[in-house]
Amino acid sequence: MKRGMLAATAAILLAATVTGTAGAAVLLRSAEMADGSGSRLQPGFGQPGGFYQPTTYTPAVPFPNDAQNFAAVGPGGLRIGAHQWGFFTHTQGNSLSETWSAHKFNLQFDLDEPASFTYDRSIFDTEDWLAVITLQADGQPPVAGLPPFGERSGVLPAGHYTFSGVIDLGGSGGSGQFFTRWGGYQLTLTVAPEPAALPLLSGLMLLTLRRRSW
């Protein structure tokens, strides 16, 4: 009877410790995104005028937390999804006209203990190579090897992290009379705190039960 009560009490403490550890280990500080655009007009045959508008972004807004762009902490840790795409349009006639779009995101989160992570990115279109995706802790180099396509897993040390991405289709360029190119990013990042208290408390529970059985 006493052994059963002790085992039940230890199980409750174990569950509370693991849950508390996971909930306290990752903290989402902010999650914002912004859209941008730019254009260029170059008259032909020596005509005057023309203009160039470099990429300009709208004010950043919070992630909408819909099916494609989301950031939230739950029982499994921090889950982030970002899916944005853009275009570059080129028209060459009596004048040269180009327009393009851009997108960027920035998330800040804290880890107070090491956590495993999984990053996954899918191919969207031909200009995906223009996207720059970075995961970096303060005072540390960026996490290496985030692939343009596929999955990357590992362990993040404790620290304050920035997860950011940008794709500016203004860098697409090219020649010809008329064409439109597309590119973007479709990715997810999961950060799952490791239940470090699990082995320790499990050992304590077994030791206590053994001592009670003597």
For the cut 70, the answer to whether the pLDDT of residue 21 exceeds it is: no
Single out the residue of 47, 32, 41, 18 nearest to residue 198, CA to CA: 18
| Residue 138, domain member (yes or no) | yes
Quick: pLDDT tens for 164-200. Answer: 999 999 978 777 789 999 999 999 999 998 765 444 3
Sign of CA dihedral 10, 199, 188, 143: positive
| Residue 99, domain member (yes or no) | yes
For the cut 50, the answer to whether the pLDDT of residue 203 exceeds it is: no
What average pLDDT does this structure show over 93-110?
Answer: 94
- Token pair of 30, please? 């902010």
Query: Can you spell out the DSSP letters for 47-105?
Result: -S--EEEEEEEPPPEE---SSSSEEEEETTEEEEEEEEEEEEEEEESSEEEEEEEEEEE
For the chain, the straight-line distance linking the first and the last C-alpha, in angstroms and rounded, comes to 15
Quick: pLDDT tens for 62-83. Answer: 999 999 999 999 988 999 999 9
Element (H, E) at 131: none
Quick: pLDDT tens for 160-173. Answer: 999 999 999 997 87
| Residue 155, domain member (yes or no) | yes
What average pLDDT does this structure show over 147-155?
Answer: 94
| Residue 205, domain member (yes or no) | no
| Residue 10, domain member (yes or no) | no
| Residue 17, domain member (yes or no) | no
Q: What is the pLDDT of residue 172?
A: 81
Give the number of domains in the chain: 1
| Residue 186, domain member (yes or no) | yes
Question: Could you tell me which residue, 206 or 174, shows the higher pLDDT?
Answer: 174
Residue 109's DSSP bridge partners are: 28, 161
| Residue 112, domain member (yes or no) | yes
pLDDT-wise least confident of 85-94, 131-140, 178-187, 198-207: 198-207
Report the C-alpha gap between 101 and 55 in whole angstroms. Answer: 8
Domain region containing 111: 28-195
Q: Would the pTM count as exceeding 0.85? A: no
Q: What is the pLDDT of residue 63?
A: 97
Q: What single letter denotes the amino acid at residue 25?
A: A
